[in-house]
Structure 1
Amino acid sequence: MNKFITIVTASILSATAAHAQVTEEMIANDQIMTDQIVTNGMGRALQRYSPLDTINKDNVKNLVPAWAFSLGGEKQRGQETQPLIYDGVMYITGSYSRLYAIDVMTGEELWQYDARLPEGILPCCDVVNRGGAIYGDKIFFGTLDARIVALDLKTGDVVWRDQIADYKAGYSYTAAPLIVDGLVITGNSGGEFGIIGEVQARDAETGDMVWTRPVIEGHMGTLNGEESTMTGTLNATWPGDMWKTGGGATWLGGSYDADTDTLVFGAGNPAPWNSHLRNAGTPVEGNTGDNLYAASRIGIDPHTGEIKWHFQTTPREGWDYDGVNEVVAYEDRAGNKRFGTADRNGFFYVLNREDGAFVSAKPFVKDITWASGIDDTGRPIFNEDNRPGDPSAATDGNKGEVVFSSPSFLGGKNWMPMAFSQKTGNFYVPSNEWGMDIWNEPITYKKGAAYLGSGFTIKPNYEDHIGSLKAIDPDTGEWKWEYKNDAPLWGGVMTTGGGLVFFGTPEGKFLALDDETGETVWSFQTGSGIVGQPVTWEQDGEQYVSVISGWGGAVPLWGGDVAKKVSYLNQGGMVWTFRLPRDLAMIK
């Protein structure tokens, strides 16, 4: 039986019983309302922790499949969705911007929506979608042609749709939207095409734009259809006109900290990758060359879109160390309100939730070459010899000095979400141990064309593993244990009150580990690589667990030598749902 006891307000109980509409209050309490999952991250703080403990270390071996659902068709590419659960229905997104409604008890399809994608879409890293968000009587999700769509929960009919940006310029959208106080809040994708990262907020009922906030300095935000304020200060950290194509895509979406009423979004790599171009010429006096606010975490007022604070993880970024990785709100063991974020650059950062100020940073991968550490202000201590060379200094002018850098541009951790356990106080971080040969090349901007200015080849750092799931104490940075995996880890992690850590591997295994020791206590072969995000919920007194299986994502497209290593893996598209029957719940 679930031992977790909480007190919820009468209004929440009433809304849950009626299942009329999903309210702001229900979204705010998504983590503790264990019969629903209406947000990405199983709560807007993105902890991916469930208090449910019916399934525990002793009885998880009795977990059995309840049903499986195939996405069908020929569109079996990377499946990275997180299921949502509401009123007896599971909602999942699929590759090529599809959305399905499924009966949670039987696995029967109730309806399906397929976005009509135009020719010429430019997704960087597979045709994935990472899930939706539920509010009122609607479900919201994004499409590869950079649109946001609102569908009726019961029928799948389109209520409204709106364009986030121009897909012909390289924009797309793959993240799950975020709902705060009746606003649908989205980022954008396309950082490899010289786009401008932006966060947008729309009225959930009508789709009308409320505010916009570009994340590259020099660009103007809007509020209620009028210009509001400029992001940063023009040319403070960007030379010339390069801010106009500065990148910083907000492609992973954001989190919301209710305690400080703050949205937290990550801004991706600056464009182009060739950092020498972004620091060329004669900067204005005082220009640091950091290229704000790329490769940063940004605190935003959810009501106006104004920037409250920023923290840049990789200034003058030149390795594609995107700064978009999720920012998780939690309390440390001393009761301090903190943010935890594991950056693509290989360092795990702890920030203060009030103002985003730096608290600490420790490595969460074994080999970091680009910096020797992080100083007391949070700024990296660069290893200048590991910066890819300036092609303009090369004798042939076509290719700068090649360096081996670790982690690779796919990161110590990429998009795949980590989890925080309220039970242990630890983070469980999916990471990869790999490096790359990288060099810079000349490049000029052309609308809709890749805007990199770099070349690369990814290589494994070790023979016995690439993937590494680590249990990390955020107070000290200590690794409590490590689970090694042959192939890269590319899917999400979930923790539970039953002392379990759920995740999947590209080899198709869906696993449960002991949260204190890392010991494998349950495993199931799903038939295709798992790059999705597991969830758990309670239905009629029984605990269920679901995950989607379907290999794909960035690794087979961009992985170099690593892609060859995993080329044997089969694609797929199947949702697996497991249950612990009542008569087995007490059996050890």
Structure 2
Amino acid sequence: MRRLMMTATVSLLAMTVAQADVTEQDLANDQANTSQIVTNGMGRHLQRYSPLETLNKNNVKNLMPAWAFSLGGEKQRGQETQPLVYDGMMYITGSYSRLYAIDLKTGEEVWQYDARLPEGILPCCDVINRGAAIYGDKIYFGTLDARIVALDLKTGDVVWRKKIANYKEGYSYTAAPLIVKGLVITGNSGGEFGIVGEVQARDADTGEIVWTRPVIEGHMGTFKGEESSMTGTLNATWPGDMWKTGGGATWLGGSYDIETDTLVFGAGNPAPWNSWLRNAGEPTGDNSGDNLYAASRIGINPDNGEIKWHFQTTPREGWDFDGVNEVVAYTDKSGNKRFATADRNGFFYVLNREDGAFVNAYPFVQKISWAEGIDENGRPIYVENNRPGNPASAADGKKGETVFAVPSFLGGKNWMPMAYSQKTGNFYVPSNEWGMDIWNEPITYKKGAAYLGSGFTIKPLFEDYIGSLKAIDPDTGEVKWEYKNEAPLWAGVMTTAGGLVFTGTPEGKFLALDDETGEVLWSFQTGSGIVGQPITWEQDGEQYVSVISGWGGAVPLWGGEVAKKVNYLNQGGTLWTFKLPKQLASSN
């Protein structure tokens, strides 16, 4: 651990006129309070929508840099954080499990926490961190060695530090924690290592575990230190002992729907990738090969960790189509309370918020090959000859038949969060048009070793673009407009009441687009690829926008032929903050 303090003057200045501790009410009202951002997603429903309209289509051309902050050092890769804004400070996480407190007016560092990471950590998809959580007088974030840390919000001193899981077995943690009812709620990462996905709830003051909920059937949950209930039914959808190393990492974190009092977490791919080993290669008609609750969205009671409902987007999963993508709560044009989620598998799903029941699904990327569509129950209509072949059927028993599957395992959409506009009623989905050669191989589980049983090479579908930001009507699935980008899109999206959609590109451009047409209205070159998450807030009567720049993440590590197309991009670590000056706010 390392903590750097700036001068006493800066520290005292930042602590002057301190606000009260962050409360449950502050978290619930985060979207409406435009002077601060204290939740991941700019509101618990994850809409990433701001009611601010000072900055709009007419004056966004006047948006200009206010300050920039460098994360410093040699750790310049994979900056995926979403900043938080509270009490005159901005808080960001950085790659390699770092946390910074920055003076909101000057951009100067007030304190820094640098986790002491041990040798031998096993992060799947780069050394990233996606953000922190604020509650009371503390700030919480996770580390690559699968720990959760609580720090004093004003000083950066460690209050408590707890182990989520054993990093030597392949576990890690990269998501922003979730705060609900005084509990710090976390998932876990490591689905490529045969771990078991789980959600844990801790007392925010002490860090002591209140409940745990594994998301693979057969595993036992706990409540207040005692066994509570089994997840699912043992061996109902998993053969033999495969459930013991079943994957289903809850690696993106969750959301909280206050109206139904429900946590919603996604579970990742089942392990191993080779679906034939999980007895899921051929349809049986009785759903016995579904491998619950992997590749699913799961509704959980926040008080005790009991599962309320589940919806599995890809039963019999065999392409690494995780089910972790964010679930956004919204009200549709007819007044129905809905959830929306854009899945790795290429389909955009609408669910009922009361019970997670399937409402509708639409393809949002092109040339989907693994399924013909989604049936009336929400189950995929499989194209069976597009499942990677069974190695046991091969002459040498070493490699099953290769298929070209669309989308690739990095997904029609991956982790990068979409946004919903209350103004247009549309979702703005960062997607990618790519496929993959994929084949299955024999594999046996070994603790701490990769547990895939597959090989793959990602390839672009089109010569002129891969990334595609799409405006989607959730009632019809209609794509209202599309912004195409040569490189894959890997950054978050934000919308505003001013009619703007913000996102970034790997080529380094921070963009503001017209929410109705997709026209680019403003662009700024940040110097490195953007894979972070933009925010906006109001300060002293002016509207500000921030985003972090720093290329990295899964694409350059796993991207195959796509990675070769973007290997010229520079890594980085700079937080950019822009503002619309008052004198230019009315300029057209």
TM class, shorter-chain normalised?
over 0.9
Q: Is 2:71–2:573's contact at 8 Å kept on the other side of the alignment? A: yes
In the alignment, is the contact (CA less than 8 A) between 2:280 and 2:316 conserved in 1?
no
CA contact (8 A) 2:275 2:281 kept: no
| Counterpart position of 2:301 | 301
Residue 522 in structure 1 maps to residue 522 in structure 2 = yes
Q: 1:280 to 1:418 in 2, by over 3 A?
A: closer
Following the alignment from structure 2 to structure 1, what is the Cα–Cα distance between the partners of residues 112 and 68?
16
Q: Which amino acid is 1:146 matched to? A: A
Change (3 A) 1:286 1:62: closer
**The residue matched to 2:276 in structure 1 has which SS?**
helix
Q: Answer yes or no: is the 8 Å Cα contact 1:236–1:284 preserved in 2.
A: no
- 1:438 counterpart = 2:438: yes
In structure 2, the partner of 1:270 is 270
Residue 134 of structure 1 aligns to which amino acid in structure 2?
Answer: I
- In structure 2, the CA distance between the partners of 1:69 and 1:390, relative to structure 1 (3 Å rule), is same
* 8 Å Cα contact 1:235/1:287 also seen in 2: no
Q: Distance in 2 between matches of 1:425 and 1:377?
A: 25
Structure 1 residue 20, shift from structure 2 partner? 1.6
The one-letter code sitting in structure 1 at the alignment partner of 2:112 is Q
Cα distance 1:583–1:300, how it changes in 2: closer, same or farther (>3 A)?
A: same
The superposition leaves residues 416-452 of structure 1 with CA deviations (integer Å, 9 ceiling, x where unpaired) of: 0000000000000000000000000000000000000
Contact 1:325 1:342 in 2 (8 A): yes
Q: Distance in 1 between matches of 2:440 and 2:282?
A: 21
Partner amino acid, structure 2, of 1:308: K
Q: Is the 8 A contact 1:46 1:328 kept in 2?
A: yes
Q: Which residue of 2 aligns with 1:153?
A: 153
Q: Does structure 1 retain, via aligned residues, the 8 Å contact 2:41–2:47?
A: yes
Within 1, Cα distance between the matches of 2:80 and 2:284?
43
By how many angstroms is 1:67 displaced?
Answer: 0.1
Aligned equivalents of 2:379 and 2:556: distance in 1?
A: 33
Q: Which amino acid aligns with 1:184?
A: V
The residue that corresponds to 1:36 in the other structure is 36
The residue aligned with 2:405 is: 405
- Give the match for residue 539 of structure 1: 539
For each residue in 1:183-217, what CA deviation from the matched residue of structure 2 results, as whole angstroms up to 9, or x when unmatched? 00000000000000000000001101000000000
Q: Which residue is 1:70 aligned to?
A: 70
Q: Secondary structure at the match of 2:140?
A: strand
Match of 2:120 in 1: 120
The equivalent of 2:351 in structure 1 is 351
* Structure 2 stretches lacking a partner, 5+ long: 1-16
Q: Distance in 1 between matches of 2:283 and 2:527?
A: 55
Give runs of aligned pairs for residues 15-414 of structure 1, distance below 5 A.
Answer: 19-279=19-279, 288-414=288-414
Q: Which residue of 2 aligns with 1:453?
A: 453
Partner letter of residue 395 of structure 2?
T
Offset, 1:287: 5.9
The alpha-carbon deviation at position 352 of structure 1 amounts to 0.1
Match of 2:499? 499
SS at match of 2:192: helix
* Cα drift, residue 285 of structure 1: 11
* Alpha-carbon separation, structure 1, partners of 2:235 and 2:105: 57
1:443 and 1:102 mapped to 2: Cα distance?
47
* 3-state SS, counterpart of residue 161 of structure 2: strand
**In the TM superposition, what is the alpha-carbon distance from 1:361 to its structure 2 partner?**
0.2
- The aligned residue for residue 574 of structure 1 is 574
Question: How far did residue 367 of structure 1 move?
Answer: 1.4
Identity of aligned residues (%): 84
| Contact 1:531/1:550, CA 8 A, preserved across alignment | yes
- CA deviation after TM superposition for structure 1 residue 474, in Å: 0.1
Give the Cα–Cα distance (whole angstroms) in 1 for the partners of residues 309 and 152 of structure 2: 36
Q: Offset at 1:77?
A: 1.1
Instruction: State the one-letter code of the partner of 2:229.
Output: T
Could you give the per-residue CA deviations for residues 385-412 of structure 1, whole angstroms, max 9, x where no partner exists? 0000000000010000000000000000
Amino acid paired to 2:169: A
Change (3 A) 1:237 1:283: farther
Partners of 1:334 and 1:282 lie apart in 2 by: 40
Amino acid in structure 2 at the alignment position of 1:441: E
How far apart in 1 are the matches of 2:387 and 2:251? 25
- The secondary structure found in structure 2 opposite 1:292 is coil
Amino acid at match of 1:123: P
The answer (yes or no) to whether the contact 1:238–1:287 under 8 Å persists in 2 is no
Q: Distance in 2 between matches of 1:381 and 1:207?
A: 44
1:62 maps to a residue whose letter is N
Q: How many angstroms apart in 1 are the aligned matches of 2:512 and 2:142?
A: 31
Tell me which residue corresponds to 1:462: 462
Q: Displacement, 1:355?
A: 0.2
TM-score by length of 2: 0.96
Q: Distance in 2 between matches of 1:79 and 1:390?
A: 38
Contact kept? 1:239, 1:280, Cα under 8 Å: no
Alignment CA distance shift 1:287-1:466 (3 Å): closer
In structure 2, distance between residues paired with 1:479 and 1:285:
34
Distance, in Å, in 1 between the alignment partners of 2:462 and 2:79 is 27
Q: Which residue of 1 aligns with 2:559?
A: 559
Q: How far apart are the structure 1 equivalents of 2:414 and 2:285?
A: 35
Unpaired runs of at least 5, structure 1 = 1-16
Letter in 1 for 2:539: Q
Distance 1:488 1:280, change over 3 A: closer
- How much has 1:19 moved relative to structure 2? 1.2
Separation (CA, whole Å) in 1 of partners of 2:252 and 2:40: 11
d(CA) in 2 for partners of 1:35, 1:286 = 53
Structure-1 separation of matches of 2:540 and 2:88: 10
SS in 1 for 2:447: coil
The residue type equivalent to 1:413 in the other structure is K
Deviations 1:157-190 (A, max 9, x none): 0000100000000000000000001000000000
Counterpart contact for 2:23–2:135, Cα < 8 Å: yes
Distance 2:259 2:423 in 1: 21
Task: Report the AA paired with residue 217 of structure 1.
Answer: E
CA deviation vs aligned residue, 1:352-405 (integer Å, no higher than 9, x gap):
000000000000001100000000000000000000000000001000000000
CA shift for structure 1 position 282:
12
CA RMSD of aligned residues (A): 1.3
The question of whether the paired residues in 2 share the 8 Å contact of 1:337 and 1:352 is answered with yes
Change in Cα spacing, 1:248 to 1:280, as seen in structure 2 (3 Å) is: closer
Match of 1:3 in 2: none
1:433 aligned partner, one-letter code: E
Q: Secondary structure at the match of 1:150?
A: strand
Determine if contact 2:535/2:545 at 8 Å carries over to the other structure.
Answer: yes
AA aligned to 1:100 is: Y
For residues 481 and 151 of structure 2, the distance between their equivalents in structure 1, rounded to whole angstroms, comes to 43
Q: Which moved more, 1:388-397 or 1:274-283?
A: 274-283
How far apart are 1:92 and its partner, in Å? 0.2
Q: Give the structure-1-normalised TM-score.
A: 0.96
Q: Distance in 2 between the 1:77 and 1:498 partners?
A: 32
**3-state DSSP of counterpart to 1:243:** helix
Which string of whole-angstrom CA distances, capped at 9 and with x for unpartnered residues, describes residues 493-518 of structure 1?
A: 00001000000000000000000000
1:7 is matched with which residue?
none
Contact between 1:24 and 1:180, CA under 8 Å: does it hold in 2? yes
Equivalent residues of 2:280, 2:289 under 8 A apart: no
Q: Secondary structure at the match of 2:37?
A: coil
Residue type of the alignment partner of 1:52: L
The 4+ residue runs of structure 1 with deviation greater than 2 A are: 280-287
Aligned-residue offset at 1:458:
0.2
Partners in 2 of 1:513 and 1:147 — Cα distance?
Answer: 38
What is the one-letter code of the residue matched to 1:169? Answer: E
The residue type paired with residue 180 of structure 1 is V
